[in-house]
Amino acid sequence: MTQIEYVQAREVFDSRGNPTVEVEICCANCRPGRAIVPSGASTGKFEAVELRDEDPDRFDGLGVTRAVENVRREIADALIGQDAADQRAIDDRLLELDGTENKSRLGANAILGASLAAAYASAEAQQQSPVERFAEIWSEYLESQTGVEPIQRARTSLLAKSMSLPLPMVNMISGGLHAGRNLDFQDFLILPVGATSYRQAFEWIVTIYRRLGQILNKTGHEGTLIGDEGGYGPKLSCNSEAVKYVVGAIEAAGLTPGDDVAIGLDVASTHFYDAESNTYHLNATGEEALSADDVINMLERWVDTYPIVSIEDGLAEDDWEGWKKLTERLGHRVQLIGDDLFVTNRQRLQQGISSQTANSVLVKLNQIGTLTETLETLRMAIDHGYWPVVSARSGETEDTTIADLVVATGAGQLKVGSVGRSERLAKYNQLLRLEELLADRAPYHGGGIFSSLQR
């Protein structure tokens, strides 16, 4: 009943108008399971390889017809006849077929599309909703694993015991590569830590977003221009001014900064780091070259001044030494998320765990390229007390996989971008449906997951 009969793929388009891969897989007499692969702009250099055509005459070299062909031929040949309900076997088959460390032969975009479409196909065949299917895959995966020694699990003890609605981490102001380098830092986010339900959290977010637009308009900063992820993209005089505006918008919404709604940053510092001189260049708002120590001091001052609870990629993907210092200084006060640092890769996360670097990992399916490997990283994070944050990419589509996945695994936090773009709202709206549908089966822990931080 769950045997794969048919595999199809096509080139479709993401929220930046870039081509991307859509895969459809069918089991006998069932409707197709379908997945569309997202794509990043501020990518880490250790991510699995996204296969692009590099034909300058088609979409500036961004076409994905080679990846699509790989699904239609090699992947289809390998998967037809396989059991779609055995996710691990499907993913192992894909890894074996590709045969490279970084999925560069078939393309992580081709492989992830097939991996996820198989999960959806088995859901169709077994008449399950996506969230039920992902929950089943997650619990099968957990049951198959033994012998992992929990080191500091207490820090994340609320996570992954069962399904839960995530704390949304929502971008209000965009900078860096997502908004034409108007600011150096990439995301200025809000986390509605004091809300008691996901719906309340999201209503606060929408209200704050609206207030922020009005404030930016009033101050002459065009509160209508938005970045790739729907956050406002104003040109401000310095990075900290963005935080001040966001704090002002929280207050204007009648909420208390810190208690109700905290602040998060994605510094994305890999993208203004110069490895040769080992310095960080804040160019968008002046001409400053900072050492890792300078950046750490600056971030510490910000944490002292603003209600910041989470900092992503405070230092660059190669700066393990700086990252370790950052963790020593701020790891007990804020969530320190490794995105470019870990790229959802178990080996890199293991290096972080062993060296006590960061305390949280961003989880992006297409950084690693199969569903099973994503779950492996998630499991490793939780076992070692690292907060996982499931995340979208800056190039997204109507695909809502991450919303179902974050609920199914109880991972606790979701970062998707802002309310100003429909490919983001597709996920946020799916969470509203899931909250209603699952009710007590998927509680909302909100900021409770941060109870171990000294704030």
Ligand X SMILES: O=C(O)[C@@H](CO)OP(=O)(O)O
Q: Is 291 marked as binding a ligand?
A: no
Q: Is 266 marked as binding a ligand?
A: yes
Among 50, 98, 260, 339, binds Mg ion (CB under 5 A): 339
Q: What SS3 state is found at 395?
A: strand
User: What size, in residues, is the chain?
Assistant: 455
The residue range among 32-40, 74-82, 247-255, 331-339 that interacts with Mg ion, by the rule CB under 5 A, is: 331-339
In 3D, which of 76, 97, 106 has the Cα closest to residue 8?
76
The verdict on 40 binding ligand X (CB under 6 A) reads yes
Q: What's the rounded Cα separation, in Å, for the pair 427 and 385?
A: 26
DSSP class of 160: S
Report the partner that residue 43 touches, choosing among Mg ion, ligand X, none (CB closer than 5 to 8 A by kind).
ligand X
The residue range among 17-25, 27-35, 37-45, 218-226 that interacts with ligand X, by the rule CB under 6 A, is: 37-45
Q: Is 427 marked as binding a ligand?
A: no
| Dihedral, CA of residue 13, residue 18, residue 20 and residue 22, to nearest 10 | 0
The verdict on 47 binding ligand X (CB under 6 A) reads no
By C-beta, is 33 or 417 nearer to ligand X? 417
- State the residue for tokens 């404030």: 215
The residue range among 21-29, 39-47, 66-74, 159-167 that interacts with ligand X, by the rule CB under 6 A, is: 39-47
Q: What's the rounded Cα separation, in Å, for the pair 146 and 2?
A: 27
- Active site (annotated) includes residue 325: no
Q: At its nearest, how many Å lie between Mg ion and the CB of residue 312?
A: 5
The site map against Mg ion for 262-291 (x = CB under 5 A) is ----x-------------------------
- The backbone region for 107, taken as left when phi is positive above 0, alpha when psi lies in -120 to 50, beta otherwise, is left
Cβ partners under 8 Å of residue 290, min gap 6: 279, 280, 281, 282, 298
The verdict on 266 binding ligand X (CB under 6 A) reads yes
Task: Please work out the total of residues on this chain that contact ligand X, with binding judged by CB under 6 A.
Answer: 14
End-to-end CA distance of the chain: 53
The verdict on 228 binding Mg ion (CB under 5 A) reads no
By C-beta, is 87 or 357 nearer to ligand X? 357
- Active site (annotated) includes residue 364: yes
| DSSP, residue by residue, 274-293 | ETTTTEEEE-TTS-EEE-HH
Among 27, 226, 268, 407, binds ligand X (CB under 6 A): 268
The verdict on 168 binding ligand X (CB under 6 A) reads no
Torsion 138-140-141-146 (CA) sign: positive
By C-beta, is 324 or 364 nearer to Mg ion? 364
Check if the beta carbon of residue 386 is closer than 8 Å to that of residue 359. Answer: yes
Torsion 431-253-193-379 (CA) sign: positive
Q: Which of 22, 24, 124, 229 is the catalytic position?
A: 229
Using CB under 6 A, list all residues that contact ligand X.
40-43, 186-187, 229, 266, 268, 339, 362, 391, 393-394
Residues involved in catalysis: 229, 364
Using CB under 5 A, list all residues that contact Mg ion.
266, 339
Residue ranges at the known binding site: 186, 266, 312, 339, 364, 393-394, 415
